[in-house]
Structure 1
Amino acid sequence: MERSELVELLSPEGLRLLDGLPEWDSKADIVKTVAALRRQGHPASLVATVLSQAKLRAKASAKFGPFAARMLFTEAGLEQATRLQVAALHAGRFSRAGVQHVADLGCGIGGDALAMAAIDLEVTAAEADEVTAAIAAYNLTPFPHARVLHERAEDVALGGIGGVWLDPARRTTSGGTTTRIADASAYSPSLDFAFGLADRLPVGVKLGPGTDRDVIPAGAEAQWVSVDGDVVELGVWLGALARPGIGRSALVIRGELAHELTAAADSADAHDGPLGDYLYEPDGAVIRARLIGDLARANGAWMLSQGIAYLTADTAFESPFARGFRVIERLPADERGLRQTLHARGVGTLEIKKRGVDVDPAALRTRLKLKGSERATIVLTREQGRHVTLLVERI
């Protein structure tokens, strides 16, 4: 969003128009909507801006729930913003550590700052981009103990601050296209700056879940978080914000429930062995945290093959940290035999899961030329190093 567009949007006319729009409908005739708003006398630039915001608000409801209906967004800001459910956990950690005044450096649209202010923490938020800083200030308007500075993270005076939260920019926007920054050394602010603050203050840093583990400082608590099966972040906690004795954590959130698997460090993998009656797929947060071995040993399971994140067991177990399947039978590993077997079973709808094999599930599904009314799930993987194809059903 350009500065001129934001100024127009924040005008009384702009905000009234935005708040007066009906709920966004992706199937609506956008040309008809634009024409109707233009006939009402609204400038074309304002119409384009408010419709863009309406679309972003609808998209943001997945992260911010009903709060999205009164917030403003940028495309890049929404992409990187923390889900409110997870931001509340960040805020709670600062509160439990006794931190009453938090600096949110690189606050983006203000998602984390909003969660902190909502539990009565004092928040000094800073954002280097002028438009994004103005949007954050608008989003934090309901909270008198939150302020937003248009400043670089590195330039914010930290006198009186009790702890720091950073969400370094990991995306760039050019020509309307947002791209992810692959190299952690190019984040803004830099990780050297972010982690360096821990020499004098408790610090939390949000990173992408696939961030190179080598950047995690010694002595930090690294927590991978998944929400409804999607791994959304790596939180690195330092100083008083890091819990004693915990170096690795997998926080698994499903619906309103949260479950956590913790350890002092990466766990050693469990031994591998032949296929049992049940197959288990660990949650992505458990895999990222390298706690698969602990999960296996706690449930009498073992790895199906070394280096591949599938567990197997002879008895069923329930765990929030893994999805379970009953093994029905082994299927032919060759494509021709697999096609014949699935055709004989009348399988027309096929879910293909895979680990440790170089297969494109969509392309394979097309080549199998499935017909029939039955549904099935197959797993393509390795058993103690050997290729296997398994017919399974969820438990």
Structure 2
Amino acid sequence: MPYDFTLDDVEFLRSPDGVTALDDAAALDLSTSTIIADIARLRSRYAPWDAALVDTVRCRRRAVGKIRDAQRWLFTDTALQQATATAVADNRADRIARRWPGASVHDVTCSIGGELAALARHPDLDAVSGSDLDPVRVAMARHNLDVSDLTAALTVADALDPGTAGGSAAVGAARADVVIADPGRRSGSGRVFRIDHLTPPLPDLFEAYRGRPMVVKCAPGIDYDALRESHGFTGEAQIVSLDAGVREACLWTGTDDDIERRATVLRSTDDGVVGYEVTDTEPDDVDPGDPATWIIDPDGAVVRAGLVRQYAYRHGLRQLDPQIAYLTGDAIPPGERGFRILQQVGVSEKSLRRLMAEHDCGTLEILVRGLDVDPDALRRRLRLRGGRSLALVLTRIGRRGVGFLCEAGVRG
């Protein structure tokens, strides 16, 4: 079970003695085979702080690559799981600054400060502040901003009572130009997907800050149609991916445009984070077509946002089937990955096994849409023996299951 941090833990971990203890803990393996001995060593020197030290080091290790300055930040296990990746938070802060330059921004569920750090770094935002109902997370956020040389006013307050969020904060939720929220998506029984079961409930959040621009982070699987139909949401649903993994949905109000759905695709490079966006205001006049040279599997954010046709129109692609997200064309869009068709094949395992042997296939990437196929189980049953790396795209066109044996490629 994850450790339940206290304010005393945070105070110790922030102290010079705590920093020394964390350095000692970080030098330990803390693996399954060493954990008992490692905990005993820490307990002999740093009791009663040993459990806090172990969980902090483990969280920091998991946060590397997700959170900037992770090796100096404090986390709880749950807070880290829900924390926004720095690249995504920076992109959101930049969009807020472009839409509302000079705005004051308040995060009413600031947790350990991931969003606040991105907002505080942005030169075109004014006062940045945050609040959370959990005093331990607020204390951690204060530490995390301090070690990152950032400034934001912080206080303990209920997200649904903006009047309590001012306190000593320079700008409270009651006065901020823009309000950010990230409702909790976990309960005692696991993940929560219903909008009225979030903490705080999504409809209550929108009601509490009605009339002001809001930016609310949610799980990608949220039912946006129900939110619009049952709760009158009229803003934008943005789906964000980072490095080919869908990270989150974000609901925007007060943007003053006609966009209802947006896909934001972010990619990490040696020169920083790059990306592109697709919206539902773009043309989507795309017809199904016969397989061409390449099959393109659009990024998950494009698929989740329901913008496959807009993406296809932008790049001159066609759908293999109007109900399936696979696209086809004679060229791969810039920066994207595609699959060059070698042969159209059937989907029976016997014929696929023979085909893999004929093509000397030893490593096979399997992509499936529209068919009930477990890629890992199928790969094992194909008994690959060769030395060639290939890809197999399995889908349906109309009611017919089809396969495409391919070579993967990337367009720079």
Cα distance 1:341–1:153, how it changes in 2: closer, same or farther (>3 A)?
A: same
Shift, 1:61, TM fit: 1.4
1:152 aligns with 2:158: yes
Shift, 1:154, TM fit: 1.0
Q: What is the aligned partner in structure 1 of residue 145 from structure 2?
A: 140
Shift, 1:38, TM fit: 4.2
Q: What is the aligned partner in structure 2 of residue 328 from structure 1?
A: 342
1:213 aligns with 2:216: no
Q: What is the aligned partner in structure 1 of residue 50 from structure 2?
A: 47
Q: May I ask how many residue pairs the two structures share in their alignment?
A: 383
- Equivalent residues in 2 for 1:126-137 (5 A)? 126-137=131-142
On the 8 A contact 1:273/1:384 being kept in 2, the answer is no
On the 8 A contact 2:107/2:179 being kept in 1, the answer is yes
* Distance (whole Å) between structure 2 residues aligned to residue 149 and residue 297 of structure 1: 48
Shift, 1:236, TM fit: 1.4
- Equivalent residues in 2 for 1:296-311 (5 A)? 296-311=312-327
On the 8 A contact 1:101/1:123 being kept in 2, the answer is yes
Q: Deviations over 1:155-206 (max 9, x none)?
A: 232343221001111123x5xxx83112221011221122235533211111
Runs of 5+ unmatched residues, structure 2: 164-172
Structure 1 length normalisation: TM-score?
0.88
Shift, 1:9, TM fit: 3.7
On the 8 A contact 1:24/1:54 being kept in 2, the answer is no
Task: Give the letter aligned to residue 353 of structure 2.
Answer: R
* Distance (whole Å) between structure 2 residues aligned to residue 155 and residue 245 of structure 1: 30
Shift, 1:21, TM fit: 4.1
- Equivalent residues in 2 for 1:177-192 (5 A)? 179-192=190-203
**Secondary structure of the equivalent of 2:56?**
helix
Match of 2:380 among 366, 374, 380: 366
**Secondary structure of the equivalent of 1:188?**
coil
Match of 1:80 among 58, 79, 82: 82
Q: What is the aligned partner in structure 2 of residue 110 from structure 1?
A: 113
* Distance (whole Å) between structure 1 residues aligned to residue 28 and residue 212 of structure 2: 43
1:263 aligns with 2:280: yes
Structure 2 length normalisation: TM-score?
0.85
Q: Cα RMSD (Å) of the superposition? A: 2.5
* Distance (whole Å) between structure 1 residues aligned to residue 240 and residue 334 of structure 2: 16
On the 8 A contact 1:106/1:189 being kept in 2, the answer is no
- Equivalent residues in 2 for 1:1-395 (5 A)? 1-3=4-6, 5-6=9-10, 8-22=12-26, 25=29, 29-39=34-44, 41-43=45-47, 45-65=48-68, 67-96=69-98, 97-119=100-122, 121-141=126-146, 145-157=151-163, 158-172=173-187, 174=188, 179-197=190-208, 199-214=210-225, 215-216=227-228, 218-239=233-254, 242=255, 244-255=257-268, 256-264=273-281, 268=284, 270-313=286-329, 315-320=330-335, 323-395=337-409
Shift, 1:389, TM fit: 1.3
Task: Give the letter aligned to residue 154 of structure 1.
Answer: L
Shift, 1:349, TM fit: 1.9
On the 8 A contact 2:318/2:328 being kept in 1, the answer is yes
Task: Give the letter aligned to residue 181 of structure 2.
Answer: L
Q: What is the aligned partner in structure 1 of residue 169 from structure 2?
A: none
On the 8 A contact 2:238/2:305 being kept in 1, the answer is yes
Cα distance 1:23–1:393, how it changes in 2: closer, same or farther (>3 A)?
A: farther
Shift, 1:393, TM fit: 1.1
**Secondary structure of the equivalent of 1:141?**
helix
Task: Give the letter aligned to residue 14 of structure 1.
Answer: G
Task: Give the letter aligned to residue 310 of structure 1.
Answer: Y
Shift, 1:308, TM fit: 0.9
Shift, 1:102, TM fit: 1.4
* Distance (whole Å) between structure 2 residues aligned to residue 83 and residue 24 of structure 1: 26
* Distance (whole Å) between structure 2 residues aligned to residue 299 and residue 9 of structure 1: 52
On the 8 A contact 2:239/2:264 being kept in 1, the answer is yes
Shift, 1:348, TM fit: 2.3
On the 8 A contact 2:178/2:214 being kept in 1, the answer is yes
The alignment-based identity, stated in percent, is 34
Shift, 1:26, TM fit: 6.3
On the 8 A contact 1:305/1:385 being kept in 2, the answer is no
Q: Deviations over 1:79-119 (max 9, x none)?
A: 11111111112222333303532110111211001111223
Runs of 5+ unmatched residues, structure 1: none
* Distance (whole Å) between structure 1 residues aligned to residue 307 and residue 393 of structure 2: 22
**Secondary structure of the equivalent of 1:98?**
coil
Task: Give the letter aligned to residue 246 of structure 1.
Answer: I
